[in-house]
Structure 1
Amino acid sequence: MTKKNAGYHAFLVGAGILLSRIMGLVRQRVFSHFFGLSDIADAFSSALRIPNFLQNLFGEGVLSASFIPVYARLLAEGRDEEADRVAGAVGAILALSVSVIVLVGMAATPYLLWAIAPGYTGAKRELTILLVRILFPGTGVLVCSAWCLGILNSHRKFFLSYSAPVVWNLAMIAAMIVFRHSHLDRLAVYLAWGTVAGCLLQFLIQVPPVLRVTHGLRLRPDAGNVHVRTVIRNFGSVAVSRGVVQISAYVDQALSTLLGPGVMAAMTTAATINMLPVSLFGMAVSAAELPAMAGAVGDEDASAVAKALRERLDRGLRQIAFFIVPSAMAFFAFGDVVTAALYQTGKFTHAHSVFVWSIIAGSGVGLLATTLGRLYSSTYYALRDTRTPLRYALVRLVLTTLLGVFCVFALPPWFGIAPRWGAAGLTASAGIAGWVEYMLLRRGMNARIGVTGLPFGLMARLWGAATIAAAVGGGVKWALGRGHPVWLALWVLGGYGVVYFALTFALRIQESRALLGKVARKLGRR
């Protein structure tokens, strides 16, 4: 795949993710309007994340890393019939496995809640159990949706699979609007059923294009096929690796339930903002590069393979850093502005925006490391190495747990602040652990394919431009004072973005000149 095609595919992934994330922000805004940072908001946020463990363990990231390298390689070799058999076998095995896990999960929900949300008691705990049991089957359907994504991505059909979550968000929004006059606890139940309907819709809209590109797909659990065994073997390693990351997230969730009412809902609200740049830039580049990297690894010349991987990896790292550096700076400087513009309505107040800002600022610590680490992990997966990322993920888990416990139980009393502010320490500690994992991933990859990474000069220019732009945006914020949240965000973030792009263009940063050049050419043609 050429550099131009790689950029186009990354654009399609980014466009699909952008649409789904915009709808996700709209859905969270509607949710915040009705629920604010209440106990019921905590219950639904926790309930949604518990079965999502299944999706994250078996879904998009794991399935892509284990299935796409094998499936895409068969397609690259022109072995379409064999590729279809592998896809059908993997789909059948996945559906059977997930069905069993969903049933077990629904039965074991009360016990899971003791581990995941130990701070919930009484009616709050009972509501969370009910919501989890409703949501579990829908999450199982989302895992099957991830299987569709793996097939479509391997056929370079990126847009639909990444924009499909739009219908999931629409179903949730519709449920809240239709039943808006219900009592909040009942509204949460209706929202859970709307979520399940959205999961089913997200899967169904991907089925027709999957059937078109596979030509006679049959769901048969053929575990004897050598390629299927390879997928299963890789799947196990990647699932454990992803499971470690998810355990880290659930440790944070369990700790947050001990910090008081509204903290879990605030963590979820902050996560929707934090994941926007990660999804748009980290996932877009990684998802577009993985099939191409996997197709190139089969070449006979090892030095040529290493060179190709280095070039693709370095190019992807530069693209990610160009957008993530200003995103992290915006989290530090303007997290309150962003949160207020997106969610300050109804029961979600300015005080809530400030609290969520503290959590977002903490997540900014590791934002760059998290997104760069995704691309390095994809490179390992393209090399059929799923164990190395697992080892480094274990290191991250241990660090995140130790630092998280320290931030929750030691830092607030130390500084004489309310326990709820320990939530910012949770996200910051995860960021520090993310940097350690990223450095380990980079060092290991450099030992295999040669030196990769971002030049110091480039990073100095990016951070310098972002800092100056933040100072300008801060001046605009100070001059305007407390205006309407949306208009304030447009002026502050607009000024910040204009200055950042202007400075990076003046500093001759390749990505800035390429992007602004494309915009100029399109405007010129019009």
Structure 2
Amino acid sequence: MPEDQRDAAPASERPASAGAGHIEDAGGSRAAPASEDPTRSGGRLALSTAFFSFATGLSRVAGLVREIVAASFFGVSGAMSAFTIAFQVPNLVRALFADMALQGAFVPVFTDLLERGERREAFRVASSLFFLITLVLGGITALLVLAAPAVMSLVAPGFDDDPALRDLTVALSRILFPIVVLLGLSGLVVGMLNSFEHFSVPALAPLAWNLVIIGALVGLTPAFPEEDQIYAYAIGVLAGTVVQLLLPTPWLRGRGGRLTLTLDWRSPQVRRVLALMLPVTITLGLINFSLLVNSFFGTLVSDQAPAAIDKAFRIYMLPQGIFSIAIATILFPTLSRLAARGALDDVRRTMANGVRQIGLLLIPSAAILAVLAEPITRLVYERGAFGAAATDLVSEAMFVWAFSLPFQGASLLYSRTFFSLQRPWTTTALAGGSLVVNAAVALALYRPLGISGVVLGTVVATIGLSLAQARFLGRDLDGVEARQTASAIVRVLAGAAALALVAFLAWRVLDEALGRSLAAQVASVGAGIVAGLAVYTGVVFALRVPEARQIARLVAERLPRRR
């Protein structure tokens, strides 16, 4: 049966709960009991993550293609920086009030109601929130459109000296602000589907978003005068966001309820979600505010700096999105369910295993981004308006970004763990401190180090935040399996060091031999990555990294069934 039809079965036919790593879309495997052997549940996490990562990977590759197309049209020009700033403001508002913030507060409550068999009440809560999102975020969007000149001057002070660039930023922001309400509604729909452990279609919705934008860039950009072509990008983002909302909505059918435009202020569960949203909103907003901090100081470095930092961040987010966001997304409903049962030991085991999986995947990714920053940037972006000077700027930022990659992944899962425990205020305070560190380091270093100094502020803040989160979660969960995690990470670091050396040498040899044509770059960069990953795989298995062995064991168990 096709996965979409299988997943549309009535909710009453599904198990009411799931253990760590269960994913309905990955073949219908039944949930493990909460007390299951963590090695086997870790294997299921690996399998579930593989399915979700594949879907997310398609979206990220499409996003990279989108960036390549945009870079070929706009490079790191002032117009591209204007778009970057204009997009980041509604994106920050989205983080504060819309999809991820809403999911962080909504999923634990919705999952708790499902766990107790109160499906109709769960849908009543969701319907009330649907109405509130439409009303409140619609009002915020209208206010932002009216106040766009003041908002843009606040976040991009460096543009005040260039009235044309400032006006362009304002105009683009007015096109983009409506995505706030659309993403809020989309976040609710995705949160509901994730609570039912349906991940595939929500993971593919961003693919559709990217494809619509690519279509707009290719189809609409030539239709505008040269000085106005950046408007095609903004129109594409708005159209893609509409599609992103509409695509997953039909999969709510057959779940035992339906969304209606009703508002039940008396529901204690609605009030509970709203109460949780305050700290969750502040936490995610503070974390995402670091991007605006980068843009703020970037405008003080040069007109090209904000766009260059953003281009580097897009590549940085490729492994982040494929691996750590996949793990955190899959585990969040499970962590919420275990927390609702009071099974804190299982919460700790599930979280710690997820952190080790993130380290296994993101530490080698960081090594690749660091040692191959320049050739990867050249391969991905350098064409059209994006020249060698832009490659230097972006690769400089990406090299620095790389050192925070595994810490950012761990922090994402730690935040979801706090949310699942419905104890978000601790991570809120930590995120506030992280933002202060970010701004302080960037302020101290942007003059002497330029782009590197700006990005270094985020790197230092991210590392500090993840370590602080782990310490405070250890108090709540009676530990975070620190020794077991440290043992695995040390072995992973050894493999990553070997990867970095082999990947760089393989790329360097082929680069000198083949030259810099597009095909030659694909061959040299691809061969370097493949050679490095082959060595990394051999090292982590030779050093008996448990999480790598989980994956191998699970694959070995499943292969005979498929013959």
Shared topology, TM-score over 0.5? yes
Q: Deviations over 1:386-422 (max 9, x none)?
A: 111100011101100100111113x24xxxxxxxxx1
Tell me, what secondary structure is at the counterpart of 2:300? coil
Per the alignment, residue 39 of structure 1 pairs with 78
Per the alignment, residue 2 of structure 1 pairs with 19
Contact 1:366 1:428 survives alignment (8 Å): no
Q: Could you list the runs of 5+ residues in structure 2 that have no partner in the other structure?
A: 1-17, 23-43
Contact 1:331 1:357 survives alignment (8 Å): no
Using the aligned pairs only, state the percent identity. 27
CA displacement at 1:486 relative to structure 2: 1.8
* Pairing 1:209-220 to 2, within 5 Å after superposition: 209-220=251-262
Structure 2 distance, partners of 1:326, 1:365, is 11
Per the alignment, residue 510 of structure 1 pairs with 546
The letter for the 1-side match of 2:215 is A
Structure 2 distance, partners of 1:477, 1:153, is 40
CA displacement at 1:358 relative to structure 2: 1.1
Per the alignment, residue 391 of structure 1 pairs with 429
Structure 2 distance, partners of 1:216, 1:476, is 56
Which of 485, 502, 508 is the equivalent residue of 1:455? 485
Q: Is residue 139 from structure 1 mapped to residue 180 from structure 2 by the alignment? A: yes
Q: Is residue 156 from structure 1 mapped to residue 206 from structure 2 by the alignment? A: no
Tell me, what secondary structure is at the counterpart of 2:101? helix
Which of 261, 269, 284 is the equivalent residue of 2:303? 261
* Pairing 1:95-494 to 2, within 5 Å after superposition: 95-120=134-159, 121-181=162-222, 182-299=224-341, 305-409=343-447, 411-412=448-449, 422-452=450-480, 453=482, 455-480=485-510, 481=512, 482-483=515-516, 484-494=520-530
Q: Flag the 1:184–1:519 CA change in 2: closer, same or farther, 3 A.
A: farther
Structure 2 distance, partners of 1:426, 1:122, is 25
Q: Deviations over 1:299-342 (max 9, x none)?
A: 3xx5xx22111110111011000011111111221111222222
The letter for the 2-side match of 1:407 is L
Q: TM-score, normalised by structure 1?
A: 0.93
CA displacement at 1:520 relative to structure 2: 6.5
Contact 1:35 1:184 survives alignment (8 Å): no
The letter for the 1-side match of 2:178 is P
Contact 1:18 1:280 survives alignment (8 Å): yes
Q: Flag the 1:519–1:35 CA change in 2: closer, same or farther, 3 A.
A: farther
Tell me, what secondary structure is at the counterpart of 1:508? coil
Which of 111, 115, 118 is the equivalent residue of 1:72? 111
The letter for the 2-side match of 1:461 is R
The letter for the 2-side match of 1:139 is V
Contact 1:377 1:389 survives alignment (8 Å): yes
Contact 1:365 1:428 survives alignment (8 Å): no
The letter for the 2-side match of 1:179 is L
CA displacement at 1:382 relative to structure 2: 0.9
Tell me, what secondary structure is at the counterpart of 2:396? helix
Instruction: Identify the range of structure 1 (219-228 vs 27-36) with the bigger mean alpha-carbon deviation.
Output: 219-228
Contact 1:16 1:161 survives alignment (8 Å): no
The letter for the 1-side match of 2:175 is I
Instruction: Identify the range of structure 1 (9-18 vs 371-380) with the bigger mean alpha-carbon deviation.
Output: 9-18
Tell me, what secondary structure is at the counterpart of 1:275? helix
Tell me, what secondary structure is at the counterpart of 2:158? coil
The letter for the 1-side match of 2:415 is S
CA displacement at 1:513 relative to structure 2: 2.9
Q: Deviations over 1:345-375 (max 9, x none)?
A: 2222233223211111111222221111111
Tell me, what secondary structure is at the counterpart of 1:346? coil
Q: Flag the 1:11–1:475 CA change in 2: closer, same or farther, 3 A.
A: closer
Structure 2 distance, partners of 1:467, 1:198, is 40
Tell me, what secondary structure is at the counterpart of 1:235? helix
Structure 2 distance, partners of 1:26, 1:520, is 35
Structure 2 distance, partners of 1:212, 1:23, is 31
Per the alignment, residue 415 of structure 1 pairs with none
Tell me, what secondary structure is at the counterpart of 2:494? helix
The letter for the 1-side match of 2:190 is L
Q: Deviations over 1:232-273 (max 9, x none)?
A: 000011111222223332121111112112211111111111
Q: Flag the 1:311–1:338 CA change in 2: closer, same or farther, 3 A.
A: same
Q: Flag the 1:250–1:471 CA change in 2: closer, same or farther, 3 A.
A: same
Structure 2 distance, partners of 1:254, 1:178, is 32
The letter for the 2-side match of 1:96 is L
Q: Is residue 60 from structure 1 mapped to residue 99 from structure 2 by the alignment? A: yes
Instruction: Identify the range of structure 1 (331-340 vs 30-39) with the bigger mean alpha-carbon deviation.
Output: 331-340
CA displacement at 1:36 relative to structure 2: 0.9
Contact 1:10 1:287 survives alignment (8 Å): no
CA displacement at 1:517 relative to structure 2: 5.2
Q: Could you list the runs of 5+ residues in structure 1 that have no partner in the other structure?
A: 413-421
Q: Deviations over 1:101-144 (max 9, x none)?
A: 00000111110111111111221111111110011113321221
Tell me, what secondary structure is at the counterpart of 2:258? coil
Tell me, what secondary structure is at the counterpart of 2:372? helix
Q: Flag the 1:511–1:184 CA change in 2: closer, same or farther, 3 A.
A: farther
Structure 2 distance, partners of 1:285, 1:4, is 9
Contact 2:338 2:344 survives alignment (8 Å): no
Contact 1:16 1:163 survives alignment (8 Å): yes
Structure 2 distance, partners of 1:3, 1:291, is 9
